[in-house]
Amino acid sequence: MALRELKVCLLGDTGVGKSSIVWRFVEDSFDPNINPTIGASFMTKTVQYQNELHKFLIWDTAGQERFRALAPMYYRGSAAAIIVYDITKEESFQTLKNWVKELRQHGPPNIVVAIAGNKCDLSDAREVTEKDAKDYADSIHAIFVETSAKNAININEVFIEISKRIPVADGAGGTSGKGFKLGRQASESRRTCC
Amino acid sequence: MAVHSQVNGTTAIPWRSSRRKLSLLEQLKGCQEAWCPGAPWDREGAHAAISGTPAGSFLVLRDSVTSQPILLCVSAGGENGAVLDYNIGNKGTVFQLNDSRLSFSDLAQLVLFYSLTRDVLAVCLSIPRWIYSVTDKNKDRLSQLEPDTWLSPPEQQTDEMTNRELSNVMCSIQLTSTNGALCIINPLYLREHGDDWLTHRASTTPCSTQPSNYRRERRLSTTRTWAGAGLQSKRAISLDQEPSAAFMESSGLTRARSADSPHCPPAPSTPVAPAGVVLRRPSQDSASRLPHRASTGSLQPSPPSTPGSLNCAASELQCHGSPVPQSPHRVSWIEDGVWLPPPRPSSLLQPPSLELDSLSISSIEEEQDFQMPSPTPHHPSAHRLADKVIHRLSAVGQALGGLVSQKKRLTNRVQELSERRGGAFAEAVKGFVEMTLKRGADPDGVTGSEFLQEVRSKLTSLRDTLWDLPEIQALLDSITDLSDPAIDSLVELSLHKVALKPVSAHLYSCIRTSRTNDGCFERLRSNLRVLEQNGVEELGGSAGVGIPDSVSLERIQQRWTAMHDAYSPNKKVQILLKVCKSIYHSMTANASSGTVFGADDFLPCLTWVLLRSDVVTLQQDTDYMMELLDPTQLQGEGGYYLTTLYAALYYISSFRPRLAARQLSVEAQHSLNQWHRRRTLHCNQSRRSVHRRTIRRQMCRVQNSETGTESKEESGRENAADQSQLQTESSTEALQPLREETGRGQGGEDQSQTSTPVLDCHQQEVIQEDRQEDRQT
């Protein structure tokens, strides 16, 4: 079985729960005694997808405005980006849209984008409707899920969806039809490997 | 060879008679009631019973309600009779120690495993010696044993059983570290059939005709595949219980070989020795002939073509054995490279003559270097050969063993090769050192990152040269229990020693010159004064996050110094990781449980620490690491924290109170893009056509998608006016071909959307400038 390492970066405002999502995702495989991961800003988890193993290398980014400009260092070379917003904070959804635009322009082409509306356990305080977010995600062909890191809702699903959309390893680098389109897909001839 | 064909079928294995030895696992299962007693035993009782027994003596206790095994009590030995407790987790049908991730499908396997390697235990479990002597005939006695007997069998009984059965004690447990087979060879088979099954294949498949590249490729591809050989197998351990394991594995090997190597004709009827196997327990027989073992030199290998020679066996193993196929017996370790061979178990309950050897059969090929003319007898008696195999393995085992020595061997060999007069590698290293020292000394020459990039590129080609040396290949092929990344890292480290060490001081002076000239140090120093009074919260950290206290900070400073002193970028990164870990530790020290600190807090904390450190030196170290680190290291943890260090330094050096972060992104992005691209390219250039398909594929995908961007971009719309207007402002950096950067040129109208809502005009200008620079290329 082939092992593929997939770099995934986490984007989104500070406080929306980026690292909680990762923590939740990796917690069942996380054992500080054996696998001394330094902290939640970089974590890995390997999952099986069809006949491949996908090892997610999850790069967290600092969401504060002041560090915003450092993000390209982190998302460069990513196979996927998970952009997280807080369903109880409209502002974080606007920030998300900016991230999408930035990724379109500066991010790796064909990067798989997943949008995660976190804190869906707090639906009383909801400011962003699921429909709005879903429509937006559809319009940019992004994966969309509402998650709750707190209650472990839809966390694995985000990564499963990412696995599905990652282009197959062989076959001249063909991309999934559902992939996030950046409007400037690389030409097929160019992408033939070596 | 009729005998051999029998071996492949489990039904026809000759030693499976009624008088056969029980495997240790069977023996353990047989007396499980003795070491894992039922109801009346509680923790106190067990402690009382164990206290004072030799180190490693143990009992497993069951929960009084559920009867599930819950606690492993182990004697720590010593005078105070301390007893250590380890909780046993029980998830469904899987047993594991709570501190460990290794899972076992039954308790006996767990015990057996921990008798071989201590993993999380303080000492290896010790299994009473007399258990080795139990055969089918007297196995009923096992079930009658009780815990007290288990812990201290009557002398009489021990002697009686041992004396009667000693000559038959032939249970060889074998264990490797990463491919991790725990298999049991029954030396009775060797005794009966000799070991020409070991050597037979060597005459039919001469190793020397195998293209070395093919060998390497095969090793890489197969081990790569195993590395991902199923999450399940990574967590579950399957210990073999059939004495035939080694041979079943051999047949698996044959299949695997025929599947992926056209060069090697499949020979399903011929068993091949399992390779990468470590003999941990030589048989009693071999031990009883201990005097022979000292004379390693007397057992001289003959040329590989001589049938019956042990050396041939070694070559054979090297040829076919290295990649042990996925088998049910495999113990896969959780994370590649994490596990190091533990200290060898020493158990007082083992017979004193039983030396615990740890060696890889395949590392015998090392001894090809010491070839001697003395030919091995052509048709020696099977019995003698069997002994010889055992002796040989034991003897080699004394010299070798474990990762540390492999690493050392590799380092020494590379060192030796680099000093060999007239050798290709030595010449290449010499050329590299001279050229590097000369290049940077030229005052008009390039001293900055461009220069370091060249150095990295040359290092990569030196590494290729090294890889292509048959001696190194042979050595690497013998390392069967390390993952490919770990082996790469070993090679890289040995290369650093011979190539980077002599030039590292010079490289530092080049970095200093370059960074002084570009004003980076000056910016760092002045911004340090502006920022150093800021607390973590002012730097963006959240309220609950802790910062290193003065003691930790002192420790961090020492580590920074050590990081600066190391010449190998890999080593530096390891130290960096230690620093990051201690920062994380401080962050979470006072936090309420359940709080997860991610990058939102780590970056401010690291920045806070940097503001209290020698940022000028750290900047040089960061440049050194970023430019010289092996490209394959970049996506992992080291790459992440190095990027974060780079980012934090950039944040400091480009901090402007009025202009928010956007401006620094221009420089940071440039620099990082350049860095990333270069690594991508180098990785592709190096050994493009060889062997590393799995890695390559990944890297290619990155590169090609980036060049793809470029092509698209070239035909994309451009803002010509802006371009001409801003062209002159481009920095020298921008003049370099920043191919992937062109992907950003989207025209000015996009930027207001991309940028954050509160950008001022200056920032927008900067962004435009950035894009124009990109477009130039």
CATH number at residue A102: 3.40.50.300
Distances (CA, A) of B411 to A23, B433, B565: 39, 18, 20
Kindly state whether residue A176 falls inside one of the protein's structural domains. Answer: no
Sign of the C-alpha dihedral computed for residues B326, B331, B335 and B337 taken in this order: negative
Surface-to-core class of residue A12, CB atoms within 10 Å of its CB (0-12 exposed, 13-18 middle, 19+ buried): buried
Higher model confidence: residue B672 or residue B291?
B672
The pTM of this model reads 0.52
Kindly state whether residue A193 falls inside one of the protein's structural domains. Answer: no
Question: How far is CA B135 from its chain centroid?
Answer: 39
Give, in degrees to the nearest 5, the angle at Cα B274 between B271 and B279. 135
Model pLDDT, residue B365: 33
Q: CB atoms < 10 A from the CB of A1, how many?
A: 16
Helices (H), B400-448: 402-419, 424-441
Task: Find where tokens 């502006």 sit.
Answer: B530
- Chain A residues in contact with B647 by the CB 8 A cut-off are 67, 70, 73-74
| pLDDT (average), residues B248-275 | 40
End-to-end CA distance of chain A: 22
- Chain A residues in contact with B672 by the CB 8 A cut-off are 72-73, 76
**Do strands B182-185 and B172-175 pair parallel, antiparallel, or not at all (unpaired)?**
antiparallel
Model pLDDT, residue B237: 38
Domain count, chain A: 1
Kindly state whether residue A138 falls inside one of the protein's structural domains. Answer: yes
Q: Mind giving me the DSSP string for B339-382?
A: --PPPPP--TTS-TT------BGGGGGGGGGG--S-PPPSS--H
Give the residue from B112, B121, B113, B33 showing the smallest Cα distance to B69: B33
Q: Does A168 touch chain B (CB under 8 A)?
A: no
Tell whether the model's pLDDT for residue B105 goes beyond 60. Answer: yes
Q: Please list the residues that pair with A53 across neighbouring strands.
A: A3, A48
Does the structural domain B24-151 have CATH classification 3.30.505.10?
yes
Higher model confidence: residue A179 or residue B620?
B620
Kindly state whether residue A24 falls inside one of the protein's structural domains. Answer: yes
**Do strands A112-118 and A143-146 pair parallel, antiparallel, or not at all (unpaired)?**
parallel
Q: Which residues contact B721 (CB under 8 A, 6 or more apart)?
A: none
Q: Does A102 touch chain B (CB under 8 A)?
A: yes
Kindly state whether residue A187 falls inside one of the protein's structural domains. Answer: no
Q: Reduce the DSSP state of residue B286 to 3 states and report it.
A: helix
- Superfamily of the domain at B519-686: VPS9 domain (1.20.1050.80)
Kindly state whether residue A33 falls inside one of the protein's structural domains. Answer: yes
Distances (CA, A) of B188 to A166, B111, B132, B196, B560: 53, 25, 14, 14, 57
Q: Which residues contact B416 (CB under 8 A, 6 or more apart)?
A: none
End-to-end CA distance of chain B: 69
Tell whether the model's pLDDT for residue A81 goes beyond 90. Answer: yes
User: What is the Cα–Cα distance from B92 to B304, expressed in whole angstroms?
Assistant: 51
Tokens of A180: 């996030």
Residue-range definition of the domain harbouring residue A73: 2-165
Q: CB atoms < 10 A from the CB of B641, how many?
A: 23
Q: What is the ipTM of this complex?
A: 0.87
Model pLDDT, residue B544: 79
Tell whether the model's pLDDT for residue B541 goes beyond 80. Answer: yes
Tell whether the model's pLDDT for residue B304 goes beyond 70. Answer: no
Model pLDDT, residue B295: 38
Contact B756 A98 (CB under 8 A): yes
Q: Does A123 touch chain B (CB under 8 A)?
A: no
| pLDDT (average), residues B530-552 | 87
A67 vs B231, B338, B651: nearest CB? B651
Q: Which of B285-299, B315-329, B664-678 is most confident?
A: B664-678
Kindly state whether residue A103 falls inside one of the protein's structural domains. Answer: yes
Which segment of A155-159, B203-207, B428-432 scores lowest on mean pLDDT? B203-207
For residue B637, the chain A residue with the least C-alpha distance is A42
| pLDDT (average), residues A139-146 | 95
Half-sphere exposure of B75 (CA within 13 A, CB side): 26
Q: Reduce the DSSP state of residue B239 to 3 states and report it.
A: coil
Q: Does A141 touch chain B (CB under 8 A)?
A: no
Higher model confidence: residue B605 or residue B732?
B605
Report domain extents, chain B. 24-151, 402-518, 519-686
- Chain B residues in contact with A46 by the CB 8 A cut-off are 228, 231, 234
User: b vs e for B107-130, b when ≥16 Cβ sit within 10 Å of the residue's Cβ?
Assistant: bbbbbbbbbbbbbbbebbbbbbbb
Residue pair A160/A48 in contact by the 8 Å Cβ criterion: no
Element (H, E) at A153: none
Contact B702 A108 (CB under 8 A): yes
Give me chain A's average pLDDT, please: 83
Residue pair B437/B506 in contact by the 8 Å Cβ criterion: yes
Give me chain B's average pLDDT, please: 62
User: What is the Cα–Cα distance from B46 to B33, expressed in whole angstroms?
Assistant: 14
The DSSP call for residue B495 is H
Surface-to-core class of residue B455, CB atoms within 10 Å of its CB (0-12 exposed, 13-18 middle, 19+ buried): buried
Touching B: A residues 35-54, CB under 8 Å: 35-42, 44, 46-48, 52-53
Q: What is the pLDDT of residues B399-443, one digit of tens each?
A: 444 556 777 888 888 888 888 888 889 999 999 999 988 886 666
Q: Angle, to 10 degrees, between the axis of helix A155-165 and the axis of helix A18-26?
A: 80
Query: Which of A38, A98, A188 best probes binding to B when mutated, by most B CB atoms within 10 angstroms?
Result: A38
- Chain A residues in contact with B676 by the CB 8 A cut-off are 76-77
Tell whether the model's pLDDT for residue A143 goes beyond 50. Answer: yes
Tell whether the model's pLDDT for residue B151 goes beyond 80. Answer: no
